[in-house]
Structures are given as C-alpha cells and as structure tokens.
C-alpha cells in the first residue's frame, strides 16, 4: 500500500475526521484510481474498525468518528463516482430499513447508481414500509434496501410483504444488500436481487430493469 493510501486507511481507523478528505485528494492527485482509494483505503479501514469494535477495543464513539472520517473522504470521491447531465435511465428508491442507522453503504450504492444514470430517491435511514411504498407511488421502479444489523434485516421482509399486498405488486422490483445479507437470505424473503457491494448493485439493477 502506498504511503498516501496508508494515511487514508489510518485516518479512518483513528477517526481523524478532518484529515481523511485531504489524504483522499492527495491520492487522486497522485493518479491513484478512485475505486482503489475507495476499496483498499476506505472500505477496508471500516472493516477493521468493525473488527476492533467486535474485539472490545473500540466502542460506539470510535465507530462514529470513523464513519464521519469516511463520509468526509467520500465527499471528495463523489463527483468522480456520480456523472452529471445524463438522461435518467430509471428511478430507484433507496433506504436503510427501520431501526437501522447505518448509511455509508447505502450512500455508496446510491452514488454508484446515480453514476450509472439512475434517478435516486434517498429516504435515508430508519425507513418503514409505507415510506418505500410512497416512493413507488412517485415512480420508483426499484426498491433498494440496506441493513447492517442482524436485528433489522428482517424488516426487509416486511417491506416485501407490503409491496406484495399493494397495487404495485407486479410493477416494482426489490434489491437488498448490507453486511449481514446473503443470497440465501434474499431468496428466503423473495427479493428480486441481492448485491454484495455497490458495483454489483448497479449490475443487478441494470438486469432487473432490462
């Protein structure tokens, strides 16, 4: 790992909220590919933060400052991931399910979809079934749900049930993702697609709307 990439990684792990963005810019100026910065510098750092939390080394405040550092870094990457002035190829509503406040992965998925030409309705975190349905009423063709907690992932099924019991049953597709979500779980709750990361989310949404 180059020195700059190491600085990005370490600034997230240490939650140095004000340094990450500068280091990300430095890496881009050095010609490092944005997806390398994202995956090797940033996502791997968050993974390590999660490990430290699991091991009892870190507590919620440390996770929180790491998340802020990551968000500041993502602010620099955003314009590179999101293309401007393209005619929307479809409309996708995204949100983190009820009871769940994790939004970094969901935001990344939204950014990459936007970059691929989709119009995004971002409902944020802690989103219930009726809010997803309202967005479908507003024209969303795909519901994208994120969950990071084993306790909240079941909420995805509730949304799918609500869709099935609504007039939009045959109109809308559902994609799910997030750290605890697997293809098996997606099959169990009868989601139309599962994606393990943001770029496969784009591939899957393209497939759903093809």
* Binding interface with ligand B1M (CB under 6 A): 43, 46-47, 49-50, 53-54, 60, 63-64, 66-67, 94, 99-106, 108-109, 144-146, 148-150, 175-180, 195, 197-198, 201
- Closest distance between ligand B1M and the C-beta of residue 19, in Å? 17
Shorter beta-carbon distance to ligand B1M: residue 23 or 204: 204
Identify which of 88, 74, 80 has the alpha carbon closest to the alpha carbon of residue 41: 74
DSSP code for 50: H
Q: Cβ closer to ligand B1M: 3 or 138?
A: 138
From the CB of 153, what's the least distance to ligand B1M, in Å? 8
Phi and psi at 95, nearest 5°, equal -170, 155
**Which residue number, 4 or 96, has a Cβ lying nearer to ligand B1M?**
96
User: Using only C-alpha atoms, what is the Rg of the chain?
Assistant: 17
CA angle 85, 29, 109 (to 5 degrees): 45
Q: Are 187 and 206 in contact (CB under 8 A)?
A: no
C-alpha pair distances (Å), 106 with each of 22, 85, 204? 23, 22, 15
Q: Which is nearer to ligand B1M, 154 or 166 (CB)?
A: 154
Q: How far is the CB of 169 from ligand B1M (least distance, A)?
A: 19
Q: How far is the CB of 148 from ligand B1M (least distance, A)?
A: 4
């Amino acid at each position: 790992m180059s020195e700059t990439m190491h600085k990005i990684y370490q600034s997230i792990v240490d939650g140095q909220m004000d340094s990450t963005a500068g280091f990300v810019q430095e890496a881009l100026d050095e010609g490092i590919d944005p997806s390398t910065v994202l995956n090797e510098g940033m996502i791997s750092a968050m993974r390590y933060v999660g490990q430290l939390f699991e091991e009892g080394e870190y507590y919620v405040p440390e996770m929180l400052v790491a998340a802020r550092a990551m968000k500041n870094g993502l602010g620099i990457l955003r314009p590179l991931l999101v293309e401007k002035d393209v005619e929307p190829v479809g409309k996708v509503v995204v949100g983190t399910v009820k009871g769940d406040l994790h939004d970094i992965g969901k935001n990344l998925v939204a950014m990459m979809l936007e970059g691929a030409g989709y119009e995004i309705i971002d409902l944020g975190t802690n989103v219930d079934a009726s809010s997803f349905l309202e967005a479908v009423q507003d024209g969303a063709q795909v519901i994208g749900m994120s969950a990071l907690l084993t306790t909240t992932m079941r909420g995805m099924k509730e949304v799918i049930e609500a869709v099935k019991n609504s007039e939009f049953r045959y109109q809308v597709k559902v994609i799910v993702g997030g750290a605890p979500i697997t293809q098996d779980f997606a099959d169990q709750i009868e989601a139309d697609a599962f994606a393990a990361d943001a770029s496969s989310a784009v591939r899957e949404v393209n497939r759903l709307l093809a």
